[in-house]
Amino acid sequence: MPAMEFFQSQHITEDNENGIKEILTYVNFNRTRNLSVILFSLNVIFLFIDYINKVKGLWVIDDNYKYLFYSHLVLGLVTLLYSLVYYRITDSSASDITILQKSYAIIFVSFILSLSAIISGWIDQKIHGQITVYVIICITIAVVYNYKPKIIAFLYGLSWVAFMILVTIGQKDSNIRQGHYLNASLLVVISYFLSTVLYKLKIQELMHKYYLENIVTERTKELQIANDLLTREIFEHKRAEEEILRLDRLNLIGKMAASISHEVRNPMTTVKGFLQLLKIKQDSRDKEYFDLMIEELDRANCILSEFLSISRTKSTMHGWHNLNDIVTSTLPLIQADALNNDKSLLVELNNVPDLQLDIQEIRQLLLNLVRNGFEAMSSGGQLKIRTFSSNREVTLGISDEGSGIEQDILEELGTPFFTTKEQGTGLGLAVCYGIVSRHNGRISVETSPKGTTFYVNFELSK
């Protein structure tokens, strides 16, 4: 595909188009300074040559040498003025371009073309009949500046008219005059064509630059989005692995519980029965020992019951129930615990759809989480129970006003036999995680020094 077709096929936004205009104006502005410095330096040489011509007596022989000196003097003053003015109105970037800077370069180009037309069309015609100065300036302007075709046509057209008038006055030889007419016309057409081609190439270069910048920006955004998605997926994958590891531990413990619980319970029941018989036959002074042994057996049996409840293979009685009804039916027990622990209770139940639940297990889950919340708070603390639904889930939230959970402890929540309580078994939360797992739910925890909230999320049936 040719380069021209490639660039023309690119889409450029209005902002980029305005940016290109500002860049071109900024370039023309800076090039005016450079050109004025170069012309001022050359003009010093021209003035020196004028001085030599004066010493040779050429000024006396031909007044036009004097007029040539005046034109050089004007050129020197204007170029010096432009060089000094540049530093008074310069800005740091293309976006800072002002109207003064836009007119700064155009006026200079108009002046240089007009002065070259005067020198070549009038003064040089009197001296040696050449238009060299006008040729050089026209080509220089076409190469140095990047203006729209309309602007450059106006500038060249204005100088061409001035040249034609002056050469008509200055050149008496009709043949030479006709040749100058033709040469100047061709020169203006060629300069205009050259300027237009260079302008379009510059536009295409800047368009290509913006096109590439837009591609880079778009690809950067796409890569950022992909990176965010990948990071999220890695995080979700890691969390899923941790959850699978936790569930595997619970499953292993559950299977162990299911296989040995009955074998352990049977001899314990037998021992308890004989202890009760012996208690009746013994003296009253020994009954307290029997009571203690029976109490410890009951406690061991309770631990086994909790241990067994962790099992994923434990049979459940799922039915369609409303979470609010289960919370409401359990409230008397919770309120009694709150009263005994000198804590207050706040219940906020929102409308939630029915779920397939095992009532007894959800009650056990609720009581375990509530009692943990009570134990985490000092006297006077408030426990909050909430239910709500969102994003295809029904959520049970239990919030306390304790001191929060440390990060290293937070990572171990739900691990069997892990506890921070002196008399704890480390099975309470493990039981909760087992119950939630059997209901295809999940537990999430938010904690801070102002308190902790356990969220139990149940998926709505599809």
* Mean per-residue pLDDT pooled into runs of 10, the chain (462 residues): 40 60 81 89 90 87 87 91 78 64 85 91 85 92 90 92 90 87 92 91 81 78 87 85 71 63 65 70 65 71 61 63 90 86 90 88 87 86 90 90 78 60 61 83 87 90 66
DSSP state of 303: H
In the structure encoding, which two tokens stand for residue 184, read together? 């100047």
Residue 276, helix vs strand vs coil: helix
Q: What is the CA radius of gyration of the chain?
A: 48
DSSP state of 128: T
| Residue 295 is assigned to a structural domain of this protein | no
Judge if 207 and 330 occupy the same domain: no
Half-sphere exposure in the Cβ direction for 298 (13 Å, CA) = 8
- CA distances to 163, 379, 418, 452 from 422, rounded to whole Å, are 108, 19, 11, 21
Write down the pLDDT at residue 197: 92
Among 202, 221, 240, the domain-final residue is 221
Burial of residue 43, with CB atoms counted within 10 A of its CB: 0-12 exposed, 13-18 middle, 19 or more buried = buried
Among 221, 255, 285, the domain-final residue is 221
What CA dihedral angle connects 284, 289, 292 and 297, to 10 degrees? -110
CA 75 to chain centre: 54
Judge if 182 and 324 occupy the same domain: no
For 430, the enclosing helix (H) or strand (E) is helix 428-438
Beta strands in 324-381 (DSSP E): 344-349, 355-357
Beta strands 355-357; 393-399: pairing state:
unpaired
| Residue 271 is assigned to a structural domain of this protein | no
Q: What is the total count of domains within the chain?
A: 2
Judge if 132 and 28 occupy the same domain: yes
- Closest by alpha carbon to 268, among 305, 300, 292? 300
| Residue 289 is assigned to a structural domain of this protein | no
Among 221, 240, 265, the domain-final residue is 221
Judge if 150 and 39 occupy the same domain: yes
Write down the pLDDT at residue 12: 47
Write down the pLDDT at residue 216: 80
Task: Provide the phi-psi class of 320: left if phi over 0, else alpha when psi is between -120 and 50, else beta.
Answer: beta
| Residue 282 is assigned to a structural domain of this protein | no
Judge if 345 and 215 occupy the same domain: no
Residue 387, helix vs strand vs coil: strand
58 CB-near residues (< 8 Å, 6+ apart): 65
Judge if 329 and 199 occupy the same domain: no
- Closest by alpha carbon to 350, among 321, 366, 327, 380? 327
For residue 134, the enclosing domain spans 3-221
Look-up of token digits 């929060």: 404
Write down the pLDDT at residue 90: 60
Judge if 182 and 58 occupy the same domain: yes
| Residue 12 is assigned to a structural domain of this protein | yes
Judge if 205 and 327 occupy the same domain: no
Write down the pLDDT at residue 193: 94
In the structure encoding, which two tokens stand for residue 39, read together? 């012309």
Name the phi and psi angles at 101, rounded to 5.
-70, -35
> 108-123 as b/e, with b when 16 or more CB fall inside 10 Å?
bbeebbbbbbbbbbbb
Residue 289, helix vs strand vs coil: helix
- CA distances to 77, 124, 129, 392 from 68, rounded to whole Å, are 14, 8, 14, 91
| Residue 180 is assigned to a structural domain of this protein | yes
- CA distances to 135, 228, 234, 243 from 238, rounded to whole Å, are 76, 15, 6, 9
Cβ pair 260, 426 in contact under 8 A: no
Write down the pLDDT at residue 376: 85
Q: What is the CATH number of the domain that holds 430?
A: 3.30.565.10
pTM exceeds cut of 0.85 = no
Burial of residue 57, with CB atoms counted within 10 A of its CB: 0-12 exposed, 13-18 middle, 19 or more buried = exposed
Judge if 210 and 334 occupy the same domain: no
Question: How far, in Å, CA of 48 to CA of 351, rounded?
Answer: 99
- CA distances to 34, 239, 368, 431 from 407, rounded to whole Å, are 67, 15, 21, 21
- Closest by alpha carbon to 383, among 330, 306, 451? 451
- Closest by alpha carbon to 353, among 331, 326, 323? 323
| Residue 374 is assigned to a structural domain of this protein | yes
Cβ pair 28, 152 in contact under 8 A: no
Write down the pLDDT at residue 1: 39
| Residue 211 is assigned to a structural domain of this protein | yes
Name the phi and psi angles at 386, rounded to 5.
-130, 150
